[in-house]
Amino acid sequence: MKRTILLLFIIPLLITACHPKDKPAKTENTAAEEIVKPEFNADSAFAFVKAQTDFGPRVLGTKAHSFCRDYLVQTLRQYCDTVYVQTFTAKTYNGKQFTAENIVGAINASAANRILLASHWDSRPFADHDPAPNRREEAIDGANDGASGVGVLLEVARQLQTQKPAVGVDIVLYDAEDYGPRESDNAPNGEWWGLGSQYWAKNPHKEGYTASYGILLDMVGSPNPKFYQEQFSTHYAPAIVQKVWGVAYSLGYGQYFINQPGGVITDDHYYVNKLSRIPMIDIIHYDAATGTGFDPVWHTTQDNIQHIDKNSLGVVGTTLLQVIKNEK
């Protein structure tokens, strides 16, 4: 995924830097022991991740992509009031055209106050960062880069059946996110990443759709994740960053949700902020030690189910449920 990642302080005018020992903004309950954590089943979330990767790489135009689409639609229909399938033509950087589908599940559909939760469900057609040069043309499972966020959101939807939210929740699974050019490609100028979120932001599943804010999940299954505050998020939606990181801190997850700026990442939230004007943040693992800024298995054939950590899924899912629970 993602065309660009820059290191800390690339756009210092867009953010308010936090010192390492700064704590996130306080929530109503500031001590972990004061909060009864909402139920989130990390084993179930892991099973949802595995179900996606069992189809094989979910690359546009493949049978695995079609089979996984049907699975995601059927699963969301079990847990959501309404499910929308938004079909569009994805035109990729290399001149190809594919049929793609954004999948949207609405929970508490009659509520006016709504929260948008999102991830992408397709996977990369090339392992262009694989350490083995002879494997760089292979498609990847995308267990972390895509499926991890979707798995968390499916479990969130399942839990909200019993943890009835006071607000509306819309789960959007974007397609055609990860078919961007390789560094070696002589690609024409254009916005070639996040094709599904670009389409949805210009053509929402419901006319006039809006949400109070949005949260994007990307690569949330890494072992011992570090979720720094991505800088497009702090530019477009600083209050939401502080809200979510504050909730995570109150749950005792401060070692994962780091109250410091991370990279500048062109992800689906960028297009939602820019085109839909819905303030949206990105929860994404950041690792400055890898050189890419991402998990070591990013865009390699090793991005498979063996490298997904259940605890990481649980940390993110529990945080999301608590954020939703706090909304009135």
CATH number of the domain that residue 317 is part of: 3.40.630.10
- Mean pLDDT across the stretch 205-224? 97
The pLDDT-based confidence of 26 (bands split at 50, 70, 90) is low
- Mean pLDDT across the stretch 294-306? 97
pLDDT of res. 275: 97
pLDDT at 19 over 50: no
- Read off the tokens for 82: 């309404």
pLDDT of res. 146: 96
pLDDT at 57 over 50: yes
Q: 19 versus 226: which is more confidently predicted?
A: 226
Closest CA to 319 of 180, 211, 220, 171: 220
Structural domain range at position 131: 5-326
pLDDT above 90 as % of the chain: 87
Q: Residue 45: CB partners within 8 Å, gap ≥ 6?
A: 151, 152, 154, 155, 310, 313, 314, 317
pLDDT of res. 9: 39
pLDDT of res. 328: 85
- Read off the tokens for 115: 């929260």
- Read off the tokens for 42: 């990390």
pLDDT at 86 over 90: yes
pLDDT of res. 7: 42
Kind plus residue range of the DSSP H or E element containing 296: none
pLDDT above 70 as % of the chain: 90
Number of domains in the chain: 1
Q: Helices H, strands E: what count in the chain?
A: 8, 10
The pLDDT-based confidence of 4 (bands split at 50, 70, 90) is low
Contact 45, 149 (CB under 8 A): no
pTM over 0.85: yes
- Mean pLDDT across the stretch 141-150? 98
Q: How far apart are CA 172 and CA 170, in angstroms?
A: 6
Encode 13-51: b = buried (16+ Cβ within 10 Å), e = exposed.
Answer: eebeebeeeeebbebeeeeeeebeebebbbebbbebbeb
How far does CA 266 lie from the centroid of its chain? Answer: 12
Task: Give the pLDDT confidence of 116-136 residue by residue, as tens digits.
Answer: 999 999 999 999 999 999 999
